Structure 1
Amino acid sequence: MFAKPFRVKSNTVMKGSDRRKLRADVSAAFPALSGDDVSALVPSKEELNVVKAYAHRGDAVTLYVLHKNPVFFEVEKHIYPTVYTLWRYPDTLPAFTTWPTVLQKLAGGADLMLPGVVVPSQGLPEVKQGDCCAITVVRNRAPVAVGTATMSTGEMQGLGMKGRGVSILHAYMDSLWAFGDKSGPPSIPAPHSEDCAEEECSGEGDVPEEAAPGPDGDSTTDTCCPDLQELSLNQGETEQGEEHGNEDGGTEEEKSPQGEEGPANFTCMVSTHWTKFCFPPTEQMDILLLQCFLHALKSKVKKSELPLLTSTFLRNHMFSCCPSGKQLDIKKSSYKKLSKFLHSMQQQHHLVEIKELSKGVESIVDVAWKHPELRSFCPPEESVSEEAPVDGSGDHDRPYHPPEITPLYVVSARLEPLFQDSQKRKGAVLSPEEVRTIITEYVKKNELVDEHNKNFININPALCDCLLEKSEYQEVEKLKWDDLFTRTMDKMQHSYKLLFPGQEPIIKKGQIEPINISVASRGSNKKVTLIKNLELYGIDPAAMATTLQHRVQASTVLNPVPGSKDRVLVQIQGNQVQQVGSILLDQYQIPRKYIQGLEKGQKPGKKK
């Protein structure tokens, strides 16, 4: 149900009478919870919100949020606990056990199939069809998913543990979990973990690949995923072949010097040992992203560089902190976009301060250098074999990826009749291809193609009103296809979309301003070169100034652009148009059509 993001309709503080009703409903639905447990989950005075939302399939869902973490959710008048609640009270629901590698499938929306269920020595829990139940993984009693049983325990065994066992509603790492503080499950030893290696998947010979035992009879989880909280290792731990498990699991447990364990310890999430364990790819990428972020702040970013464009921070600092053999890809993390990750670091951990200094372009304006998590972070011993150089450091720079610029067109009131059949109203934003497709469909539907020459379109009253000038009403009866498309787009409002790597698309009205290069005269008729609008294309003006200064050995100055907020003008001595153009075209790979003023460069002198 929460495999994809849901849409929030309202978020309000819960009334006292509603809290009493919720406590009664929770007590009736989950008898395993004591009165004190229910009061802790539904307190009388603490902040408790009720959130009305719609799942991606349109299901109406009610969320009950305590201290910014969802504790219960209600669907069709049935109430269910979230994983945050079950981590506090793991015995609330009967639980089925599966293999850790199955967790990724559950978070992606898959149901739990019976061949992937691990049958413990004491047998399966007794459930009836439709009963709410939890899912745990081998050697950890902390539930990682919530669902409803598709059949009773007796029917499961009668079918030889084949087919679908639990219909999953919510799982660790899905969008409902992400609505909270994104903490990880605690390590709660299973009472029969000593027998874990002897447990077998039900469904002899029909074990799914992701839940299959290892070649030596032990589960693959035993060798590479002792439990979900192995990431609570600390930097001081050694790699002398020690096993990291829990005492009940028969292995020695290593704790941090502070005695902390679990995901609440922020720094230990980026332990250099994380690559030893078999975690879902999304969680692995989250940890790598966090490691590179802290490493970049501690070792790469200087106070004098602030404010620093977030795109520059990613390209020049975070990428260079990625361990060799690894590839940092934000799209494969749970955040999906750099902006979401950085805002999380700002709002939840208060490590950085992000501001939009110019419209649509965010920058890091401050870093909490004395933050305990940043100060205690130790960069991994393994260094990158070849660090990515800083923007503008020379010809060996990391290739600059310019933003993807897409022209867009907005349906105007005058042209709305042409787009009504396609359900596009005034204000709809369309790409050129969409405009051509819709206009072509309109022509064909109204049979406007000229019978004698199919290159021409007959003008009907709607086209006449939308595309022709008043002086053309009596004169123009036909238009060529190209002329039809051109006139349509000319009558529409212009817009464009900027897509920076790792960021949300930015849509702006009008046409994008080109990078402007101009030459001006200063005192004593000295020439200076001025460059503006670099920020629109994700180029750091300070980095551009440094590159020019090194290349032409001339002084540079950064000045605010007159009449514009938060824009910076780069000024360099002499006529350096050719050098600026070379850097923009070759190093930053900005298309020539987005650079204005290249013709103002000095022409080579004639040979005598």
Structure 2
Amino acid sequence: MFKKKPQIKNLSPLRSSDRRKLADQIIADYQVIVPSDQEQENASDASPAPTLSSIRSSLLPDNLQSARFTTLAGATATLVSGTVYVGSHPGLEERILWIQYGKEVRLYPTVYTLWQNPGLVPLLHTPDFVIEKLQTGADLMTPGLFGGPPWPERASPGAVVAVAGMQNDTVPVWVGTCKIDVSALGRVQGMKGAAVEGIHWKGDELWTWSQSGVGGRAAPTAIEGWSGLASRLATGIEDADLDDDEEDAAQEEGGVSLVAPLEEEHTENETQQPNGDTEHVPTTPEVDAAFKEAFLFSVVSAKKSGSPPPRYGIDFPIGQAGVIDKMIKPFLRYDSPHYTIKNTSSSGETRIYDIDFDDQQVLVFTPYSLPTPKTAAAKPPNDSKTSNGTHASDVRLVTLFRPSPKLYPDLFPSKHGFYSGAQVSQTLKTYITANPELSQGTSSKRHIKLNPFIANTILNGSSSEDNAILAAGEIGRDVLSRRISDDTILMAPHWVLLQPPASKEYNPADPAATLSAHNIKPKPYPPPSVLITIEKRTGTKTVTRISGFETFGLNPQTLAPELQKKCAGSASIGQLMGGKPGTMEITVQGDQTDIVRSELVKRGVHTEWVQVDDKTKKKKKGAQPGR
């Protein structure tokens, strides 16, 4: 939402009377139900009813502080001011819990408040890939709504609502206000326009802010009390009735396309080819089956590759992009553009933390003949090399984890070491093997019992998921691995950028050897990126600013002349505005995004390490400054 990081003045504690008054205003505005005296008397000791005092404390903790803020917001960079309310819930660090704009009376909750107060606002749902777009500042388009009708009754025009994805469907990660009456909507496919205007989301400046500067807190995987719609959402996607000849309304209005474009049909499940032949269009179950076969093929191939067990050369965890690019695409039985992730029944992100290489499906799998790849168009020689002959693939950006001292010496042998994802997974397996009593008497072979170390150190009981695991007395091995890897307090993520020859020598099973041999010290997250900023100056004059390239070993004195030649325009070097002294940026005349990105890739900067901020895009219709 904000065009720049807000300037927050000194925090001041609120008086108890002011906090109670503010809490009562929130209770009234958001129609929070306060149990009556009779309801509190009838409640059981095991599940007591909340009191007015406990509700107030949940909304506005006793240590609440406030501060004024100013920032530039909106497409026109309008000056916006307001008040933020900062506090901490029991066992958690201080965060911005509420925000108030200008002279508005209403307060807007942040995701930190919603995670502690289930049901405070209506919860809407949208696919996870739409969530990614919303977290860049886009509004939620009407065709992007899933889970209804019926829709939440309180989702009326102007109402504050929360939005969750489909994978973690009980965890709000985006906050906005309804631009239309969502509660009255029927079928949304084929409709046009924005439904909800964004205010705040997980990943923005409000989420990141903390007095200690540690960055934002990771979202829980599930929150008891919010109405999850996972099963209904999956059905909604499969049964969605979309007209092939109608242009997707969300895409037309600048939103996110919800379905893969389909070619014109000639007969059922067939498309016309340029030579007049027809090609079979696979159904969703057929694509699902092909993806499963390809995944099993890749696992079998890894076992036969000669790489040492138990990981067979695979570096865990593997994100969805890695699964698709390395384990699915190379092993697909069919060479057809219809076999894509968009044509599967998958409704959420995939992340693999471990693989059972001795699973029966792997043992009985029979490899098949792979299709002959289509001849690729010839590429110009050295198109992926830098000026010194280094290929783009020679540079590696690696994530390593530094364990908390709490995990020493039970799990990790050193307080100061750095470990790859593969090592973290293997270390956990070694620990379980060394403690055989953990695997005895469990409800499943994939589960282990809790011991004092796991229960008190790894599970802190701060989430409903932890409490459920503690009550059950056992935990899934994959859940435990994910719990350790995703907890940035237990395992602090760091990054290293490896240039040749370090990148070629790197071994996920022993990253310390490469770090020591080349005297490389990992740095705390977030990892670096090159920022390409497109903006207008002096009216209609457009320029492209490039910064962050020095981290990747690129010299501005060498890069600027080459960009000037490629872009056929002037290029200048100057101090990066707001950067550390000596940090430079390059400015090139015109919008040169594609050329700059291409030149960066040739010099080893992969496309996923490049961010583009286009400040020349026009403001969407109906959007209000500061929202």
Whether these two folds match at TM > 0.5 is no
Query: Which of these two proteins has the greater Rg computed from alpha carbons?
Result: 1
- TM value normalised by structure 1: 0.42
| Higher relative contact order (Cα pairs below 8 Å, separated by 6+ residues) | 2
- TM value normalised by structure 2: 0.40
